[in-house]
Amino acid sequence: MKGALVTGATTPVGAAIVAQLLKDQVASPVLAVGAESYEDVKGLFPQPEVIYVQADLTRSRELRTLLFAPAKAHNVETVIHTALHRAAHATGSRVHQLNVESTRELLRLCEDHPTIRTFVLRSHAEIYRVRAVEPEIIDERHPIDLSPQIAQWLRDRAEADLTTCASIGLSSLSIRVLRCAECLAPDTGSQLFDYLGSQICFQPLGFDPMINLISLPDLARAFALATVAESSGIFNIPGKDTLPLSVLIEKWGQTSVPVPSVLLSPLYWLRNKVIGSDFVYDLNRFRFHFSAVMDGHRAERLLHYTPQSAIMWPAH
Amino acid sequence: MSRSPLLLRFLAQALLDPQQRRRLSEISFQDAGHGFDVFGLHPEWVQGMVALFQPLYKHWFRVSSHGAQNIPKQGAAILASNHSGMIPIDGTMIYCDVVSNTDPPRVPRPVTDHFVPALPVVSSIYARCGTVGGSRGNVHALLERGELLLIFPEGVPGIDKDFSERYQLRPFRVGVAEMAIRHRTPVIPVAVIGAEEQFPLRLRLPIHTFGAPYVPLSPIPLPLPVHYHIHYGEPLNLYEGRSAADADDPEIASAAASQVQAAVQALIKRGLSERKGVFT
């Protein structure tokens, strides 16, 4: 069996992917790559087939060493790239370096690598443009939001996605870009998780869009399937839960308070200043107004992925 | 906005007889997992809205339905209707009529203009009742799911007609014909007689809030109690003798759209000749 390398392995998503690859016996060994020292993450990977490697992906030399020393030695065939800054408030060139430039560099090095054949990128449903005039069911050809006013958090995600997509067909690698629905779990960079952290959730008055969410087990399963798939390209990875925003708030045990749309941005700005939440309303403005549900037919047909596990709703 | 509010449940209890309630409880829809379909339709809302508009449907407009047997019991189909009356009461009446006259009851999916999903409150209520925004992607997704679409191919210009131009169709947009050919879907021409006379006088306020072309206003506070007649014609199989790729040919799509327009115009002519009076 060939090896796999997972970046961002110390995040909940990365760790779940590592565990799933071993559980489904699609890769062994698995090189789990994280920025933390081994001492800090010792208990995270109890499996003997996991080799933890500490690396700073923003440093070109470390990236090269990672790929051409341990990855080559362990016959790594697939690279799964999930590492990126999760905090919406984090901005600047260092953040861009990890989100975009490391993706570009990793992709380039993988192309020159003697054993790596497959590159899988974790991309995000949030990069799709959501507007009143757009379809509510989003397929892979749906426009990406590249409007000039979007925040770095979104722009970096879109750029990393498009950088990888640009290599499809040009590169010797088999490239799979998985545009995943939002995973409602802590420390995954989920804006909705932060939004639901407050007992009172302000919602645009008169709007109640449909939202699709993916569970962590489904997300990990999609990457395991993508590792062994034969097709390359872009794949939407929807989750099992599709529901209106107000029902989501209710199921999470919080209270929805409709507020005129114009007040939401200042209200959440104020809340961030007082409480320090990572939820940024302006990043979510359009999807809090208009429905956006991903069409997963392509992933179903070519990756054999269908959502199976629902979100674990908090008991209340 | 998510769940059927108590008022709608009360209305369903108060305004629908037990048989109607039983019928409407059989509404089939593709549940996406939490009681809603992917576009946001919720069957309790459908039931509640049919109950809410029951007095208008039965007593105010006294809707007479003709040819509802032409609506397919299942599978994708497109209802293509004339549009009139300043505000889309005609759409609501067709909606109630289809739900009431199909067995098992089918929920038509009205396709609205682009600005409607941006309207607060209205967009959410519409979505719960099955309405979708008028994008090619939405229509494609609904037809793939085997839904019954309700489309007004005249668009806003149809509803904007002056009283002197009543029952004269505006040019049909080709999208309906194109989609019908591409998806091998029958088109059922629909003619609404009566709606043209419900608001004989109207004003257009040049207010473009939320992208609306104008805000309609009438010196008459309520629509006149005209007698609505809804006629459903024989299904048009526009795809017969045409391949799915023909949908991309502008001439073929345009000719097919004209065919639909001619069928609706013929139904209107028949409907007008059959009616005894505007209010009777």
Q: What percent of chain B has pLDDT over 70?
A: 98
* Cα distance between residue A232 and residue A176, in whole Å: 5
Best of B30, B135, B208 to substitute, by most chain A Cβ atoms within 10 angstroms, is B135
Q: Which tokens is B247 given? A: 């949908």
* Cα distance between residue B276 and residue B280, in whole Å: 6
The verdict on B118 touching A (C-beta cutoff 8 Å) is yes
Please state, rounded to an integer, the average pLDDT across all residues of chain A: 95
The verdict on A247 touching B (C-beta cutoff 8 Å) is yes
Is pLDDT above 60 for A198? Answer: yes
Q: What is the ipTM of this complex?
A: 0.90
pLDDT, average across residues A63-77: 96
Closest CA to A127 of A91, A107, A156, A96: A156
Closest CA to A72 of A36, A108, A110, A37: A110
Is pLDDT above 90 for B214? Answer: no
The verdict on B55 touching A (C-beta cutoff 8 Å) is no
The verdict on A207 touching B (C-beta cutoff 8 Å) is yes
The verdict on B207 touching A (C-beta cutoff 8 Å) is no
Q: What is the reported pLDDT for A316?
A: 59
pLDDT, average across residues B69-96: 94
Best of B111, B119, B123, B210 to substitute, by most chain A Cβ atoms within 10 angstroms, is B123
Is pLDDT above 90 for B35? Answer: yes
Shortest Cα distance from B53 to chain A (angstroms)?
Answer: 21
* Cα distance between residue B111 and residue B59, in whole Å: 27
For A242, the closest of B3, B38, B137 (CB atoms) is: B38
Q: Which tokens is A297 given? A: 């037919």
Is pLDDT above 90 for B212? Answer: no
The verdict on B1 touching A (C-beta cutoff 8 Å) is yes
Is pLDDT above 60 for B21? Answer: yes
User: Pairing state of beta strands A241-244 and A210-214?
Assistant: antiparallel
Q: What is the reported pLDDT for B5?
A: 67
Instruction: List, as ranges, residues 2-21 from A with C-beta within 8 Å of B.
Output: none
Instruction: List, as ranges, residues 27-66 from A with C-beta within 8 Å of B.
Output: none
* Cα distance between residue A72 and residue A2, in whole Å: 11
A204 contacts in chain B (CB < 8 Å): 120
Best of A208, A295, A300 to substitute, by most chain B Cβ atoms within 10 angstroms, is A208
CA dihedral A144, A148, A152, A155 (to 10 degrees): 20
pTM: 0.91
Q: What phi and psi values does residue A252 have, to the nearest 5 degrees?
A: -80, -5
Q: Which residue has the higher pLDDT, B132 or B205?
A: B132
Q: Which residue has the higher pLDDT, A287 or A42?
A: A287
Tens-digit pLDDT profile for residues A113-146? 999 999 999 999 999 999 999 999 999 999 999 9
Closest CA to A288 of A236, A251, A248, A235: A248
pLDDT, average across residues B175-189: 97
Minimal Cα distance from B210: which residue of A? A132
CA-derived radius of gyration, chain B:
18
Shortest Cα distance from A70 to chain B (angstroms)?
Answer: 44
Shortest Cα distance from B263 to chain A (angstroms)?
Answer: 29
- Say which residue the tokens 């149809």 belong to: B158
The verdict on B2 touching A (C-beta cutoff 8 Å) is yes
User: Pairing state of beta strands A50-54 and A76-81?
Assistant: unpaired
Q: What is the reported pLDDT for A58?
A: 94
Shortest Cα distance from A49 to chain B (angstroms)?
Answer: 37
Q: Residue B11: CB partners within 8 Å, gap ≥ 6?
A: B48, B51, B52
Tens-digit pLDDT profile for residues A93-105? 999 999 999 999 9
A 10 A CB-CB count for A48 gives 9
A261 contacts in chain B (CB < 8 Å): 120
pLDDT, average across residues A190-202: 94
Q: Residue B165: CB partners within 8 Å, gap ≥ 6?
A: none
Q: Which residue has the higher pLDDT, B14 or A243?
A: A243
Cross-chain residue pair B38–A210, CB shorter than 8 Å: yes
Q: What is the reported pLDDT for B161?
A: 82
Q: Which tokens is A209 given? A: 């869009």
Cross-chain residue pair B39–A244, CB shorter than 8 Å: no
* Cα distance between residue B206 and residue A3, in whole Å: 65
pLDDT, average across residues A60-71: 96
Distance (Å) of CA A223 to CA A291, B29, B264: 26, 31, 52
Minimal Cα distance from A257: which residue of B? B1
Q: What is the reported pLDDT for A90?
A: 84
Is pLDDT above 80 for B132? Answer: yes
pLDDT, average across residues B42-59: 93
The verdict on B146 touching A (C-beta cutoff 8 Å) is no
The verdict on B136 touching A (C-beta cutoff 8 Å) is yes
Distance (Å) of CA B264 to CA A76, A182, B260, B270: 65, 45, 6, 10
Q: What is the reported pLDDT for A131?
A: 94
Residue A277 · residue A271 · CB < 8 Å: yes
Highest-scoring range by mean pLDDT, A186-190, B147-151, B205-209: B147-151
Name B189's bridge partners. Answer: B80
Distance (Å) of CA A8 to CA A80, A81, A99, B18: 9, 7, 11, 59
The verdict on B32 touching A (C-beta cutoff 8 Å) is yes
Which parts of chain B fold into alpha helices (H)?
6-15, 18-24, 43-55, 89-101, 122-129, 136-144, 156-159, 175-182, 250-274
pLDDT, average across residues B77-88: 91
Is pLDDT above 60 for A48? Answer: yes
pLDDT, average across residues B92-100: 96
Residue A291 · residue A209 · CB < 8 Å: yes
Cross-chain residue pair A132–B115, CB shorter than 8 Å: yes
Q: What is the reported pLDDT for B4?
A: 56
Please state, rounded to an integer, the average pLDDT across all residues of chain B: 91
For A135, the closest of B3, B34, B141 (CB atoms) is: B141
Name A134's bridge partners. Answer: none
Q: What is the reported pLDDT for B11?
A: 83
Residue A221 · residue A282 · CB < 8 Å: no
Q: What is the reported pLDDT for B3?
A: 54
Annotate B9-27 with b (16+ C-beta within 10 A) or e (fewer).
eebbeebbeeebeebbeeb
Is pLDDT above 60 for B1? Answer: no
Instruction: List, as ranges, residues 102-131 from A with C-beta within 8 Å of B.
Output: none
B114 contacts in chain A (CB < 8 Å): 132-133
Cross-chain residue pair B133–A206, CB shorter than 8 Å: no
Residue A198 exposed, middle or buried by CB count within 10 Å (0-12, 13-18, 19+): middle
Is pLDDT above 80 for B100? Answer: yes
Shortest Cα distance from A223 to chain B (angstroms)?
Answer: 23
Q: What is the reported pLDDT for B164?
A: 86
Is pLDDT above 90 for B83? Answer: yes
Longest CA–CA separation in chain B, Å: 52
A293 contacts in chain B (CB < 8 Å): 32, 38
Minimal Cα distance from B119: which residue of A? A206
Q: What is the reported pLDDT for B272?
A: 96
Q: What phi and psi values does residue B150 have, to the nearest 5 degrees?
A: -115, 115
| Interhelix angle B89-101/B43-55, nearest 10 degrees | 110
B141 contacts in chain A (CB < 8 Å): 135-137, 295
* Cα distance between residue A144 and residue A163, in whole Å: 13
* Cα distance between residue A165 and residue A223, in whole Å: 17
**Which range among A214-218, B160-164, B257-261 shows the weakest confidence by mean pLDDT?**
B160-164
CA-derived radius of gyration, chain A:
19
Is pLDDT above 60 for A164? Answer: yes
